Amino acid sequence: MSIHLEPQTGCALKVAAGETLRVTSPTGGQVADLTAFAAADLGEWLSSGRTIDYGGTILVTTGSVLYSNRSTPMLTITADTAGRHDFLISPCSAEMFERLYGSAGHPSCFTNLATHLARFGIHGDRIPTTLNLFMVVTVDPGDGHITIEAPSCAAGDHVDLRAEIDLVVGVTACSAELTNQGVFGPIAVEVVAELAG
């Protein structure tokens, strides 16, 4: 299964336990926000806080296990050609663009996720902090100030995430100018039963 996300769009799909989700930036320089819910109980969702706590780091890459709010392993990153992602910041939203930039009615990852996850019975209010693939956020060790840098990915860079339980997953091609250096690209989403290596 393969989905091509046009710039500033999103999708939601089911990924079965054992299947691998591959998220690719075909053109490079494009962030993709990802969230996940347990298909068997939508009250269980991908937790930034649990993942950071159990991994002992704010950075995830190959080998990282991504946990739910109930401490269940939901996904394992099995490959990562970009190497740097963010798991601190909420998906961009219409409210964020209005509050930070005074821009009304801006396309956003939140709206795209909420729109597509609604098909699976997931309301926008339940969308947690997303795993922002290819997004580079640096944290000042002194005052904690965050800076959004250029995305980590070159053309063709991808992340493979193996589902550890049956999931409903949402993915976007991020809509934020700052996050993507002002240039919006597509995102490719593939589900494969098994990936070598």
Least Å distance, CB 135 to Zn ion, is 8
Number of neighbouring beta carbons within 10 Å of residue 134: 31
Binding map of Zn ion across residues 75-104, x = CB under 5 A, - = no contact:
-----------------x------------
- Name the minimum Å distance from CB 72 to Zn ion: 26
Question: Distance from CA of residue 184 to its chain's centroid?
Answer: 16
Helix (H, G, I), strand (E, B) or coil at 2: strand
CB of 39 or CB of 148, closer to Zn ion: 148
> Taking CB under 5 A as the criterion, which residues in 109-148 touch Zn ion?
109
DSSP for 31-93, written as a single string: -EEEEEEETTEEEEEB-HHHHHHHHTSS---TT-EEEBTTS-EEEEEEEESS---B-SSPPP-
Q: Which of 15, 176, 188, 189 binds Zn ion (CB under 5 A)?
A: 176
Binding mask 30-69 for Zn ion (x = CB under 5 A): ----------------------------------------
Distance CA 91, CA 98 (A): 14
| Binding footprint of Zn ion on the chain (CB under 5 A) | 92, 109, 174-176
